[in-house]
């Protein structure tokens, strides 16, 4: 297991969020944070700017204090550490269709089932699916099924805090971060799961990163046809936007086939 005195997951304890749109649910990211004895409050997208309404229509905010993306119109792809196991679960509310979480146009749908990555033990395999009670009529985000897109510059987005130690955000923030190769990332952390994790960030100067409350959200870029494609899932890091410590993301292409099979098993 990685040393949580130094590195921690980026789920938020939403009880501390000063926005009425959030509610802490049992079996949530708070439990994931409680399992990380070294976790301390840290922030959403650091160094970001506000996303425009409709710019990333597949973005989802989850009531346990995590992000996600619409994999299908009825299934949200998020991080394994945002949920507690698999099975029936009606405690999660997904908010979609808005950049402003307080907007009266927000679409809110309850969960029905959760499927956490089989074999997840806190290290690697950080993905999960949440089935919703009904479809959301919004565009979905395609996932990468090849490592060909694991390079270049990525976009990150979320409602997490905008600085380390900050609070969760009402408005969706976005930023861009460059790919960091495995060898360099392993040099920073020492315990990277190379085949299952991908890193991104401004290694020398820091200043731009995902942070607490962004867990489970997508890291994405344009594919060869100019369409958005998801290459990562916000997972963990040391602090937020610190020089020398890039953000660590679950490598979506590694799990594409497993995610597809899991989604088929959920139906929808």
* Active-site residue, 126 included: yes
* Active-site residue, 137 included: no
Would you give the distance in Å from CA 99 to the centre of its chain? 16
- Could you tell me which residues come within 8 angstroms of residue 132 by beta carbon, excluding any fewer than 6 positions away? 74, 75, 76, 94, 109, 110, 111, 112, 268
Of the candidates 175, 165, 96, the one whose C-alpha atom is nearest the C-alpha of residue 130 is 96
* Active-site residue, 104 included: no
pLDDT of res. 174: 96
Catalytic residue among 215, 235, 250, 253: 215
Would you give the distance in Å from CA 147 to the centre of its chain? 19
pLDDT of res. 8: 60
| pLDDT tens-digit readout, 181-193 | 999 999 999 888 9
pTM: 0.87
The band of 61, judged by pLDDT with boundaries at 50, 70 and 90, is very high
| pLDDT tens-digit readout, 64-105 | 999 999 999 999 999 999 999 999 999 999 999 999 999 999
**Token pair for 34:** 């409680």
| CB 209, CB 240: distance < 8 Å | yes
| pLDDT tens-digit readout, 117-163 | 999 998 899 999 999 999 999 999 999 999 999 999 999 999 998 98
pLDDT of res. 12: 67
Mean pLDDT score, 210-228: 96
Catalytic residue among 42, 63, 81, 250: 81
What domains does the chain contain, in order, with CATH numbers?
8-41+57-140+255-266 (2.40.10.10), 142-253 (2.40.10.10)
| CB 197, CB 147: distance < 8 Å | no
Catalytic residue among 42, 86, 126, 253: 126
């Amino acid at each position: 297991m990685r040393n949580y005195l130094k590195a921690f997951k980026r789920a938020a304890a939403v009880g501390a969020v000063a926005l009425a749109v959030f509610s802490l649910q049992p079996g949530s990211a708070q439990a994931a944070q409680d399992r990380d004895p070294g976790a301390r409050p840290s922030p959403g997208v650091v160094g970001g700017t506000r996303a425009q309404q409709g710019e990333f229509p597949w973005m989802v905010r989850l009531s346990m204090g995590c992000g996600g993306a619409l994999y299908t119109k009825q299934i949200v792809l998020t991080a394994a550490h945002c949920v507690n196991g698999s099975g029936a679960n009606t405690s999660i509310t997904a908010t979609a269709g808005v950049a402003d979480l307080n907007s009266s146009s927000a679409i809110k749908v309850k969960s029905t089932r959760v499927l956490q990555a089989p074999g997840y033990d806190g290290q690697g395999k950080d993905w999960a699916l949440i089935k919703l009670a009904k479809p959301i009529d919004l565009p979905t985000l395609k996932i990468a099924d090849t490592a060909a897109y694991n390079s270049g510059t990525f976009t990150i987005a979320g409602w997490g805090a905008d600085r380390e130690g900050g609070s969760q955000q009402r408005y969706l923030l976005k930023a861009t971060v460059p790919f960091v190769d495995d060898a360099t990332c392993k040099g920073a952390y020492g315990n990277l799961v190379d085949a299952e994790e991908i890193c991104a960030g401004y290694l020398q100067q820091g200043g731009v990163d995902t942070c607490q409350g962004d867990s489970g959200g997508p890291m994405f870029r344009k594919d060869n046809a100019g369409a958005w494609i998801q290459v990562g899932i916000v997972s963990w890091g040391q602090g937020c936007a610190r020089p020398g410590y890039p953000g660590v993301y679950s490598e979506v292409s590694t799990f594409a086939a497993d995610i597809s099979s899991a989604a088929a098993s959920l139906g929808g």
